[in-house]
Amino acid sequence: KAGVTQTPRYLIKTRGQQVTLSCSPISGHRSVSWYQQTPGQGLQFLFEYFSETQRNKGNFPGRFSGRQFSNSRSEMNVSTLELGDSALYLCASSNLAGGNNEQFFGPGTRLTVL
Amino acid sequence: SQQGEEDPQALSIQEGENATMNCSYKTSINNLQWYRQNSGRGLVHLILIRSNEREKHSGRLRVTLDTSKKSSSLLITASRAADTASYFCASRRAGGTSYGKLTFGQGTILTVHP
C-alpha cells in the first residue's frame, strides 16, 4: 500500500502571498489531519477532516483553511503569508478502525516565507 | 500549546546501551502514541498504548503508561546508530470528537554513537 503523499515537498513564497498544499492519504483512510511543526512551537494540530467535513480545528487564525474531497484527498490553504508561517506542514491519515487513531504521516511540505 | 512534556530534551548514548524517554500529559487520554522523526522529515508511528493498558512491547521497544501519574515512558533496548532521531509522544484526549487530533510533546533528541 502506498503511504501518505504530500506535494509539493518544498515551497518558497513571499509575505502576502497565498499557498495551497496537497495531501493524498493512504488508500481507504478517510480521516486526514494537518499539523504545523516549527522549532519554537513544536508540532501543533491545525485541523482534521473526515468524509469531506472538518471535524476539528486547532488554534490557528482564519488565514489557515482546508478542505477534503470525495476521494479523501485534502488540501490546506494559507492566505496572506507571514514570516512566522515558515514551517514543516505535515499531513496524516488514519482509518480510525476500532476507535484507534494511529496517524500515518507523510514526508511533509517545507514552506519558507521570505 | 503542547500538552505533553518530554524528558530528557536530549539523550546521548553508545550503541548497545538502552535509552529511556519520558513523557507527561495533562488531560485524561484515550490512548498515547510514540513517533520517531529523522532530521525534519515525516513522523514514523512506533507504538500505540491504550489508556487501559499498562505496558506494551514491539521488537526492541517497550512502552509503559501510568494514567494515575499521567506519564508514559519509551524504552529502546540495545540501541543502534540508526535509532538516532527525535522521539515524540502524542496523546489522544478522552471523550469528545477529537478522533484524529493528537497533542504532541516537545520531543527527545536521541543520539546513538557507534
Instruction: Return per-residue pLDDT of chain B as tens, 114 residues.
Output: 335 678 889 999 999 999 999 999 998 888 999 999 998 788 999 999 999 999 999 999 999 999 999 999 999 999 999 999 999 999 988 876 666 788 999 999 999 999
A98 has a pLDDT exceeding 70: no
- A 32-91 residues inside an 8 A Cβ radius of B: 32-33, 35, 41-45, 48, 50, 55-56, 58, 88, 90
Nearest-angstrom CA–CA distance, A98 and B56: 18
> What residues contact A100, with CB distance under 8 A and at least 6 apart?
B31, B48, B50
Sign of CA dihedral A75, A79, A82, A83: positive
Residue of A13, A33, A25, A7 lying closest to A78 (CA atoms)? A13
At A34-64, the pLDDT tens digits run: 999 999 899 999 999 998 999 889 999 999 9
Contact state of B88 with A101 under an 8 Å Cβ cutoff: no
CB atoms within 10 A of CB A57: 14
Q: Taking CB atoms and an 8 Å cut-off, how many pairs form between chains A and B? A: 79
